[in-house]
Amino acid sequence: MAYYEKRYNGWRAKINWYDAKGKRHAKSKQGFATKRQAMAWAHEMELAKDQNRITTKDPVFAEYFWEWATTYKTVGKSNGTYNRYHKIYERLLEYFGNSKLSAVTKASYQRFLNEFGQDKSKETVSKLSGSIRSCITEAVNENIIPSNFTLGVAAVYDKSKTRKVEYLSVAEIKALINALETGLKPRSISRYMILTAIYTGMRIGEIMALTWDDLDYQAKTVRINKSYDYINGQVKEPKTASSVRTVRVSAGLLSLLDQLRVNKQDLIFANPTGKVPTPAACNATLKRFLTKCEIDKQGFHFH
């Protein structure tokens, strides 16, 4: 049965129920502008109660997200993944404070997205909202809240920050290869990495992690079974299970890579001191050679 009362900050609704052991429980929510809104919430709770979808749990929104993330999403992953979820947690804590999960509405969540997306790209907003939606789906599955307030919200973002992906034509690729190979010397490691990406389609982390025993000169192949975490400077498992593969390459590429043996490192693209060029360094080199080839592709980068 539901109860309603008018308070200084709006209407309050309360429902009571008994669990399977006969223990009495109560759940309430206040701050409704009208009694009708309080009654709608109580009706939703009554339905959840009848369907055994109600619980006394009511965690803080931000804290529930962080507990979910560290339980299901960050274990065994890179620091980059951990940091991404922690930044979302900080955003939620900053905006919602200690608001309980039950107090968050579709409208308040939309206002959060509106503020967050003002100066963010579409990709950034999509990643954040996708992670939060997965979390709240779990909260619904756990019967902590009766419905998912992230469904049906609009993604707001800064169109000027949204990158348009551009591609190179065959002629542009040939021009870039020619420029990269002209006067190529072992100290210009970023150029070797760009050439490897062009010839194999490998991700930059996979290229950074290549060792000499990954090359098969007789079969003319490159084995890809690891990636490089450039934030922590260590080799790790590949991005996905399907990332493990063998790529057929030309004798020309293998001959180019052989020039790097003078650096005497296990990692093919490490310099004499053992350091591998960062993605930022590779992109800077790529941009320089695109300009040299008079190729104007603002949205084209290593990835």
Tell me the pLDDT tens digit for each residue of 47-71.
776 666 655 577 899 999 999 999 9
Picking from 131, 161, 191, the residue at the C-terminal end of a domain is 161
Q: Which residue has the higher pLDDT, 239 or 303?
A: 303
Residue 4 contacts residue 42 (beta carbons within 8 Å): yes
Within this chain, do residues 180 and 287 fall inside the same structural domain, yes or no? yes
The sheet carrying 10-18 orders its strands as 2-7, 10-18, 24-32
Within this chain, do residues 155 and 211 fall inside the same structural domain, yes or no? no
Domain count, the chain: 3
- DSSP assignment letter at 299: T
Q: Is 71 within the bounds of a domain?
A: yes
Going by their DSSP bridges, the two strands 227-229 and 234-236 should be labelled as antiparallel
pLDDT (mean) for 292-302: 85
Measured at the alpha carbon of residue 55, what is the angle toward residues 49 and 57, in degrees to the nearest 5?
Answer: 155
Residue 193 contacts residue 207 (beta carbons within 8 Å): yes
Within this chain, do residues 177 and 287 fall inside the same structural domain, yes or no? yes
Within this chain, do residues 9 and 123 fall inside the same structural domain, yes or no? no
Q: Is 299 within the bounds of a domain?
A: no
Q: Which residue has the higher pLDDT, 91 or 9?
A: 91
Residue 288 CB partners (closer than 8 Å, separation 6+): none
For residue 142, the model assigns a pLDDT of: 80
Please state, for a pLDDT cut of 90, what percent of the chain lies above it.
Answer: 58
Picking from 50, 71, 90, the residue at the C-terminal end of a domain is 50
Within this chain, do residues 270 and 174 fall inside the same structural domain, yes or no? yes
How does pLDDT run across 169-223, given as a tens digit for each residue? 999 999 999 999 999 999 999 999 999 999 999 999 999 999 999 999 999 999 9
Within this chain, do residues 66 and 42 fall inside the same structural domain, yes or no? no
| Parent domain of 152 | 61-161
Within this chain, do residues 136 and 239 fall inside the same structural domain, yes or no? no
Within this chain, do residues 157 and 233 fall inside the same structural domain, yes or no? no
Q: Is 300 within the bounds of a domain?
A: no
Within this chain, do residues 175 and 253 fall inside the same structural domain, yes or no? yes
113: domain CATH number is 1.10.150.130
Within this chain, do residues 287 and 227 fall inside the same structural domain, yes or no? yes
